[in-house]
Amino acid sequence: MNYLIGDVQGCCGALDALLAKIDFSPSRDRLYVLGDLVNRGPQSLETLRRLRGFGDSAVCLLGNHDLNLLAVAQGVRRPHAGDTTADILAAPDRDAWLDWLRQRRMAVFEHGWLMVHAGVVPQWDAAQTLVLAGEVEALLRGDALAEFLPQMYGDQPARWSGTLRGTERWRFVINVLTRVRFVAADGTLDLVTKEGADGALPGFFPWFDAPQRRSAGTPIAFGHWASLGLIERPDLLALDTGCVWGRQLSAARIDGGRREIIQVECG
C-alpha cells in the first residue's frame, strides 16, 4: 500500500497513532510524507528517528520548517519563539540528522501523483517542477549550501522567468515548492496572505485554481496550508489538516486508482 501523509511537524505521537490505524508495515507499504517533518510539535527529534528508521519505505519531502531548521543550525537564522527543534540541535549526533535532512527530496512523481510540500506556479508542468526541484536538491546536498542559506529568505523575485540564475532562481523555486499559497494569473506570488482559499487578494487565486495552469491534469498532492483543510479532488489532494493545531493528521491511500482518507485526532 502507498500512503501520502500531511504535515507531521514533530507530532510523533499522532504519527504513531496514524501508522497503527493504517497497520503500516515497512516491509509491505510505503509512506510519502509531504514536508514539514519537524517544528511546532513536541517531538521533532523523535519524528526524524521514526521516519529515518523506515529506510526506503518512507520518502520524505522538505518543507519550509525543515529548511528553517537547516538555516538555524547554520547560524544564519534565529529560532522563532514557537520553534521546537532544540532537541535536534542539542543532540550529540545532530550533524547526522541535519545531513539526513539535506538528502531529502523537494518533489516526487510516483504512482501517478506529483508530490510537493506547498505547490507549483502556472508556468510549470510536472516535468519542469521535477527538474527545478532537482536543482535545489543538488544545492542542499552540495558544498555551496552554507553560502546560499543566508540568502535563502526573501519574497523576490515574485515571478518565474527561465532567465533566473543562481541565488534568485533557487530562492524562487524554494518559495514555490515550500511556501506558495496564492498566485496571480501570470504566476506572480503572494507570499503574505495565509488565509483559506477564499482569502485571496483581488487578482489572485489559490495556486491550484490559477487559470491555464500547465500542471492541470496531473494529480498533485501537497501539504503546508493548514487553513485550507482537507481537499479531495480527482486530481488534487490537500493533506495538511492542522495536526499541530489540535486538529487531525491525515493520510491518503493511493493504490491502483483506489483512494481512501485516514485520519487521527491530534488533541
Q: What is the pTM of this model?
A: 0.97
Half-sphere exposure of 116 (CA within 13 A, CB side): 33
Residue in the block written with cell 517531538: 43
Between 13-17, 91-95, 252-256, the lowest mean confidence (pLDDT) is in 252-256
Provide the residue type at 238 as one letter: A
Mean pLDDT of all residues belonging to the chain: 96
Number of domains in the chain: 1
Query: What is the per-residue pLDDT across 39-80, written as a single tens digit (0 to 9) for each?
Result: 999 999 999 999 999 999 999 999 999 999 999 999 998 888
Provide the residue type at 63 as one letter: G
**What does each C-alpha distance from 210 to 57, 126, 197 come to in angstroms?**
34, 15, 12
Can you give the pLDDT at residue 219? 96
State the Cα–Cα distance between residues 218 and 148, nearest whole angstrom. Answer: 32
Residue in the block written with cell 483512494: 259
Residue 81 has pLDDT above 90, yes or no: no
Instruction: Tell me the pLDDT band of 206, cut-offs 50, 70 and 90.
Output: very high
Owning domain of residue 178: 2-265
Residue 256 has pLDDT above 80, yes or no: no
C-alpha cell at 122: 502556472
Question: Residue 225 carries which DSSP code?
Answer: -
State the Cα–Cα distance between residues 220 and 94, nearest whole angstrom. Answer: 33
Residue 258 has pLDDT above 90, yes or no: no
Can you give the pLDDT at residue 180? 98
